[in-house]
Structure 1
């Protein structure tokens, strides 16, 4: 008897909770569903007749291969059958969703080129504002998007991006695991205000970050490999409106900055690469000279921190 009563109470509580959610304004329900993985948002259609079409009004879409089906799968466990289910699900959502503007799209893991093109063309048609993805081979038309404001790109493996990158309307760009192999990769992103480079590698001798409207620049764990003889990588930052700069990377990278009148906060942390510690006998003297030069260039900054870990290379840098 007690067990039956507890079961009834649980069922009653669940029904009351469902009623409370159902009593919310439709706009709030649609917003809540937009924050969920799209797979779970679609499942709410079985709750009741009233909930049958709520998911079609979401303003954001979240498709992720690794978690599709309710469990985590790594890429080596790829199967054609499961891929077909994922692709059919994505096409069903794109076909049934109401034709509202798309605020955010998260799309990860699909190997199907036709599906990728369909998803990105759908996003372009519905004027997407924010994209989070691990896929880099965008359709050419998508690169010309005039509505995309935020792009967060994190591929599974280190890769090179085409140059110029495209996306002229971007204001926020986050790149992770990218080989910076072209000096003009950001030349088309003239409206950038926030730029984050995480775990990237510098593969050209001179690299220039030129962004006339850049305000915040974060570079975390930048590695440089152009170390033949006494040659050094050079990173030049040209951003007249820059206010906050955070940099962490391997020495002997030569960091050079034009005079920035609006800089409020600068944090520079360097640590010697393995090559530097074992093949450059005078690297400590060079480093001291570089610190003096940077301190003179940035003497007007309100908050300035320059530090060098001379003991060992660390791989535990995090974005701040």
Structure 2
């Protein structure tokens, strides 16, 4: 009661007509205010600390951290020295947030960084900090010009449920083991550059409980290393509900795609892009599993991929929805059956 009375006294104010009024939002419990702040970018949430003593430390209890150097306060500058200043400012801000916010577990950590401050040293420090605090959802957007070797702590985080990587040069993963027992959603999104598609096999082999898998716009920069020669990773998706493949596999890595595809026998919704369907056209009938639970299939076909559709339908006994995109001369038509 004493705490509530103190809070009300802090929130009391005088309105324009001289009558007493209350800041009713500030009277809400800390948990509810933190829930409201969690919908804001972290930079904006931190700015609320200037409102009053009541708000000064609230942001330090946030379990959702959204850090983006493209926000207005960190906006891009043409001048080199201004860019360096903004870059350092953002880097210092991220370190300050992680130092002062000690909430555990971290429900969501999203980092988008386009400036040089997102070098490998800083990224590893930030990733290690959030994995030590049992992060559950991790999203990374780092458009850069060199490979980033993400730390092993990210790929061995026992609490991670959602992992989304975008605009990233991802170093090969052969130097450490991968174990993500709680991971349910894996999304390798726009323009993720990898050294070899077999790196994806190793990543997937460490995710036994995936429910949603999306592999989009992957680019292969280097193939033919030792990982391509081994290819001994066991892939199993007993809980997979949804899978999306929207990228091209080079010829020497077709077998990696076939191995992943054969593990999809329990998937319910499957999306296959034109580049992926072109690769699957080389698959033998033994490489296409019997889909026990496939209900929806969405596929883009070219002039020479019609046999693939026939083979898929032959092995999809419970199919209810079929969406076919016919691609000709870079024009796509959709047909829903």
Q: Structure 1 length as normaliser, TM-score?
A: 0.75
Counterpart CA distance in 1 for 2:255 and 2:182 is 33
Correspondence 1:66-77 to 2 at 5 A: 66-67=70-71, 69=73, 71=75
Task: Specify the SS of the correspondent of 1:267.
Answer: strand
Residue 211 in 1 paired to residue 237 in 2? yes
> Which among 301, 304, 320 is matched to residue 319 of structure 2?
301
Question: 1:42: how far off?
Answer: 0.8
8 Å Cα contact 1:224-1:253 kept in structure 2: yes
Residue-by-residue CA offset, 1:270-308 (whole Å, 9 max, x unaligned) = 23xxxxxxxxxxxx4x53333322221224322233443
Change (3 A) 1:297 1:190: same
Taking only aligned residues, the RMSD between alpha carbons, in angstroms, comes to: 3.6
8 Å Cα contact 2:67-2:112 kept in structure 1: yes
Question: 1:315: how far off?
Answer: 9.1
Correspondence 1:97-246 to 2 at 5 A: 97-109=101-113, 110-135=117-142, 137-155=149-167, 161-163=172-174, 166-176=179-189, 177-178=191-192, 179=194, 181-182=197-198, 184-185=201-202, 186-201=204-219, 210-220=236-246, 222-226=247-251, 235=258, 236-246=261-271
- Counterpart position of 1:87: 91
Counterpart CA distance in 2 for 1:138 and 1:17 is 52
8 Å Cα contact 2:301-2:325 kept in structure 1: yes
Residue 25 in 1 paired to residue 29 in 2? yes
Residue-by-residue CA offset, 1:246-275 (whole Å, 9 max, x unaligned) = 22222532255311212221121223xxxx
Residue-by-residue CA offset, 1:28-86 (whole Å, 9 max, x unaligned) = 11111122111111111111111111111111111112226253569x99832222211
8 Å Cα contact 2:161-2:184 kept in structure 1: yes
Q: Structure 2 length as normaliser, TM-score?
A: 0.72
Question: 1:165: how far off?
Answer: 5.5
8 Å Cα contact 1:102-1:127 kept in structure 2: yes
8 Å Cα contact 2:288-2:311 kept in structure 1: no
- Counterpart position of 1:4: none
8 Å Cα contact 2:325-2:333 kept in structure 1: no
Counterpart CA distance in 1 for 2:21 and 2:160 is 37
- Counterpart position of 2:330: 313
Counterpart CA distance in 2 for 1:132 and 1:46 is 29
Counterpart CA distance in 1 for 2:137 and 2:255 is 36
8 Å Cα contact 1:160-1:181 kept in structure 2: no
Counterpart CA distance in 1 for 2:207 and 2:331 is 32
Residue-by-residue CA offset, 1:128-176 (whole Å, 9 max, x unaligned) = 00001025532223321100110111025x6565257653431101111
Counterpart CA distance in 2 for 1:152 and 1:200 is 13
Residue 289 in 1 paired to residue 289 in 2? no
Residue 261 in 1 paired to residue 272 in 2? no
8 Å Cα contact 1:167-1:189 kept in structure 2: yes
Correspondence 1:45-84 to 2 at 5 A: 45-67=49-71, 69=73, 71=75, 79-84=83-88
